């Protein structure tokens, strides 16, 4: 029986969700939280209800099941953040998985051991199971994980003490920019800084209303927090495609290898790997050439329309 509480975030897309949930079933957590956003329209009602019933039927072990099933749609940002609020109102630490994040079994023990080890180390903000640069990192590394200034949230874990910093708005953002915190963390890499600056700007101005993860990363940066990142990729996102919330197009991130950590070797130095942070930021901001052309043509069309009309 796995003792660390797990929060599983769902919406619809039954085949993908069941595939990810089956991994949770394999480790049989004693405390399981399932939070579901509600349907956007009457056409989604049946699928949402069927998914909830399907998951509950899959729990065939002795388990404390807690559910937060919304009757109406809150949208991604509010649905996820309020579910995590609910989760940490009942737990001081835990693992968080979204419906499209497929973990290797070793991911769960990786998180559990490090949640215990770094519980009282406030330098450590979070633990991720996702390493999108796994194909570029030497497997001869001397430790099982390293540290980053950013948290990849495709399968992750954290403590209530870290989540308490989260807000849906970016406080002190002008001071954040004045101190050039992104430049300090990213070695003045223009493309890496541009990725985070654009997304933070959009959240701050209200252009972006669906993301919760950029807010978490912002407060991690603001409080000089570190995220533990595994050398091997322990979680693969299997939700790319038309039904995805954001990644509706193919990217290099849609085909990452799913690997396993068999032995936990701790690093000797606790500091962010700046080169990883730069490369991670560049790859996270990847946009296919065809989509860039589409965006560019859309801007030209908008300019011409405003000029002639």
Q: Does the pLDDT at position 211 exceed 70?
A: yes
Query: Are 93 and 134 found together in one domain?
Result: no
Whether residue 95 is found in the same domain as residue 121: no
- Tallying the residues shown for the chain, one arrives at 309
Whether 87 and 144 share a structural domain: no
Residues 160 and 231 in one domain: yes
Tens digits of residue pLDDT in 20-51: 999 999 999 999 999 999 999 999 999 999 99
Report field, pTM of the whole predicted structure over 0.85 = yes
Weakest-pLDDT range from 135-139, 174-178, 301-305: 301-305
Position 288 confidence tier, pLDDT thresholds 50, 70, 90: very low
**Pairing state between β 64-69 and 31-36:** parallel
Structural domains counted in the chain: 2
Q: What average pLDDT is seen over the chain?
A: 90
Distances (CA, A) of 194 to 92, 105, 197, 257: 34, 35, 5, 28
Are 148 and 20 within one domain? no
Asked if 130 and 7 sit in the same domain, the reply is no
| Residue 64 sits in the same domain as residue 146 | no
Higher pLDDT, 225 or 308: 225
The whole domain housing 17 covers 1-99
Tell me, yes or no, whether 62 and 94 share the same domain. Answer: yes
Q: Which of 56, 75, 99 is the last residue of a domain?
A: 99
* Domain closes at, from 74, 99, 124: 99
CATH of the domain at 22: 3.50.50
Tokens of 259: 């690997």
Q: Give, as one character, the DSSP assignment of residue 252.
A: G
100 touches 237 (CB < 8 A): yes
pLDDT tens digits for 52-70? 999 999 999 999 999 999 9
At 231-266, the pLDDT tens digits run 999 999 998 755 544 444 466 687 899 999 999 999
Residues 59 and 128 in one domain: no
- pLDDT for res 300: 52
Please report which confidence band the pLDDT of residue 138 belongs to, taking 50, 70 and 90 as the band edges.
low
């Amino acid at each position: 029986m796995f003792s660390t509480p797990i929060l599983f975030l769902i919406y619809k897309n039954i085949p993908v969700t069941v595939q990810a949930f089956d991994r949770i079933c394999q480790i049989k957590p004693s405390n399981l939280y399932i939070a579901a956003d509600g349907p956007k329209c009457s056409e989604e009602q049946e699928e949402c209800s069927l998914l909830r019933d399907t998951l509950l039927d899959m729990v065939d072990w002795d388990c404390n099941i807690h559910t937060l099933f919304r009757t109406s749609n809150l949208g991604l940002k509010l649905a996820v953040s309020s579910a995590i609020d609910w989760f940490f109102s009942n737990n001081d630490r835990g693992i968080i998985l979204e419906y499209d994040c497929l973990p290797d079994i070793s991911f769960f023990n990786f998180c559990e051991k490090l949640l215990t080890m770094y519980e009282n180390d406030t330098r450590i903000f979070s633990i991720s199971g996702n390493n999108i640069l796994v194909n570029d990192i030497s497997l001869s590394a001397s430790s099982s994980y390293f540290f980053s200034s950013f948290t990849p949230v495709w399968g992750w874990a954290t403590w209530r003490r870290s989540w308490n910093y989260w807000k849906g708005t970016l406080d002190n953002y002008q001071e954040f920019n004045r101190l050039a915190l992104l430049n300090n963390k990213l070695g003045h890499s223009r493309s890496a800084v541009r990725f985070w600056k654009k997304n933070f700007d959009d959240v701050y101005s209200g252009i972006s209303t669906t993301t919760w993860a950029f807010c978490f990363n912002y407060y991690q940066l603001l409080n000089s927090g570190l995220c533990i990142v595994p050398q091997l990729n322990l979680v693969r996102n299997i939700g790319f495609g038309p039904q995805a919330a954001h990644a509706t197009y193919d990217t290099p991130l849609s085909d990452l290898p799913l690997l396993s950590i068999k032995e936990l070797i701790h690093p000797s130095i606790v500091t962010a790997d700046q080169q990883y942070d730069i490369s991670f930021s560049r790859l996270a901001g990847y946009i296919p050439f065809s989509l860039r052309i589409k965006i560019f043509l859309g801007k030209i069309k908008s300019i011409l329309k405003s000029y002639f009309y």
